Amino acid sequence: MSTRVEGGVVLITVCARATLSAGPVHLTLSVREGPAPGIWRYNLTDGPDHRAAGGRVAGMTDHIDVLRYAADVCSAGYEPGTTTRALLEQFASGDTSLRNEGP
């Protein structure tokens, strides 16, 4: 037997993560939607620095678009010509050559 709940609310959140690596550089960019639809928080982890960059994005609905937007914003925090900045810029531009095609 189950009990019916009146006035209950279901909250669905979306979380996505992109891992970018090249040589000794390892980045993790994560985004999480909620509590309202279209409101996102992002966080960039740069190796041992778990709060290298972070912020909020509003008005976007697609998690891939949010990840790319956040990568573009975060790339400005790194010197031009560095591997870290190049990884973020490539991902932000939609360059799929970064995709892991392993077994």
pLDDT tens digits for range 22-78: 999 999 999 999 888 889 999 999 988 888 999 999 999 899 999 999 999 999 999
* Stated pTM of the model: 0.81
State the Cα–Cα distance between residues 54 and 94, nearest whole angstrom: 20
For residue 93, pLDDT over 90 is answered with yes
Give yes or no for residue 102 having a pLDDT over 70: no
> What angle is formed at CA 40 by the lines to CA 68 and CA 6, rounded to 5 degrees?
140
Using an 8 Å Cβ cutoff, are 16 and 67 in contact?
yes
Flag the least confident range among 14-18, 87-91, 96-100: 96-100
Q: What order do you get walking across the sheet with 15-22 strand by strand?
A: 15-22, 25-33, 39-46, 49-58
Closest CA to 35 of 51, 56, 20: 56
8 A C-beta contact, residue 71 and residue 84 = no
pLDDT for 83: 95
Give me the pLDDT at residue 99, please. 56
